[in-house]
Amino acid sequence: MDATIIDAPCSAKNAEKACVPEMHQTRKGNVWCFGVKCHVDIDAGSGLVHTIMVTPANKHDITETVNSIREDDAVVYGDSGYLDVQKRLKIKQNKYFSNIDFRITRRPKGLPKDNAIDCLSPAFPCLIKDDKKRKNVMELVSQKMRKLAPEMDPLRLGTGWKPEDLSKPQILIESTFGDSHPGSGHLDQLVTAARKGIVEAGGYGARYFCTDICDGESQGTDGINYSLASREMIANMIEIHANATPFDGGVYISSCDKGMPANLMGLARVNIP
């Protein structure tokens, strides 16, 4: 379960030229928003949405939980906005809801120091099969994140992961595959080969794409002005992909004189094997 704010112009008015009552202002972090909040619940097994509700934006995520969970739910995942949801009176007094296992992400400040995520933990040494050597290896970053954010598991399952894949070393496969030019059009084959190799080594590869552009197709037009900008954008997206969901290692596949420097820049930023 999760919720997101749908922002609307502050001038949004109804037929009576009054502000729409279903919309309200609220603050998310340091940003003020005006609009509605969409509460979405997804079945962890099938990946299908089973409930969508819309409330004013200032309605707290946790208040709609009782209206969105189902009586046959055994486990419910949520972010830190749902902390202590199991203590709410309507949940405790319901004979079905009171038996649900709520797995809610804890806030970083509430974690013990030994559970803090170390994004510089070595990853690939964990693939060594010698049990004696494994004892001195730190826990995988991906597995630390699973403890901190248990809702990651059903999200992974919804994208095709199998339950047994979740505990494996998770490897980012970043590629500039796309139909922008001949150098990128075949990279999906290399991505497939890389993923196969990762699986054979005992890990699981997650595919991420951010394609590049071709100078040859933009020469003599204003499009050439986007050439260097595209390099920065690809590097930015690699950094975002690698840090938004911590991985234990990465494989970077690209070609041409924009994609390759961009991948090297992104590789240097994320600092993972």
Cα–Cα distance measured from residue 174 to residue 210, given in angstroms and rounded to the nearest whole number:
8
| Mean pLDDT of the chain, nearest integer | 82
Q: What is the mean pLDDT of residues 145-166?
A: 85
pLDDT of residue 120: 35
pLDDT of residue 111: 57
Cα–Cα distance measured from residue 40 to residue 161, given in angstroms and rounded to the nearest whole number:
21
CA nearest neighbour of 141 among 255, 16, 271 = 271
Q: How far apart are the first and last CA of the chain?
A: 33
pLDDT surpasses 50 at 136: no
pLDDT of residue 190: 94
pLDDT of residue 244: 86
pLDDT surpasses 60 at 137: no
With both helix axes pointing from N to C terminus, report the angle between 227-244 and 256-270 in degrees, rounded to the nearest 10.
Answer: 30
- Whole-model pTM: value is 0.59
250, 195 Cβ separation under 8 angstroms: no
Which residues, 6+ apart, have CB-to-CB distance to 72 below 8 Å?
96
Cα–Cα distance measured from residue 111 to residue 101, given in angstroms and rounded to the nearest whole number:
20
pLDDT surpasses 60 at 113: no
pLDDT surpasses 50 at 128: no
Q: 238 or 42, which is more confident?
A: 238
Q: What is the mean pLDDT of residues 68-85?
A: 87
What does the CA dihedral 137, 156, 178, 184 come to, rounded to 10 degrees? Answer: 20
Q: What is the mean pLDDT of residues 268-272?
A: 85
Q: What is the mean pLDDT of residues 122-147?
A: 56
85, 1 Cβ separation under 8 angstroms: no
pLDDT of residue 129: 40
Most confidently modeled range among 22-36, 189-203, 257-271: 189-203
Which residues, 6+ apart, have CB-to-CB distance to 183 below 8 Å?
255, 256, 259
Q: What angle do CA 190, 193, 196 make, to 5 degrees?
A: 150
Q: What is the mean pLDDT of residues 159-185?
A: 91
Q: 105 or 12, which is more confident?
A: 105
Report CA Rg, the chain.
Answer: 23
Which residues, 6+ apart, have CB-to-CB distance to 63 below 8 Å?
none
pLDDT of residue 135: 46
Q: Give the percent of the chain with pLDDT over 90.
A: 20
pLDDT tens sequence across 3-29: 888 887 766 566 777 777 778 888 887
The single-letter DSSP state of residue 196 is H
pLDDT surpasses 90 at 114: no
CA nearest neighbour of 63 among 99, 35, 43, 91 = 91
Residue type, 47: G
pLDDT tens sequence across 230-268: 889 999 999 999 988 888 999 999 988 888 888 888 888
Q: Give the percent of the chain with pLDDT over 70.
A: 86
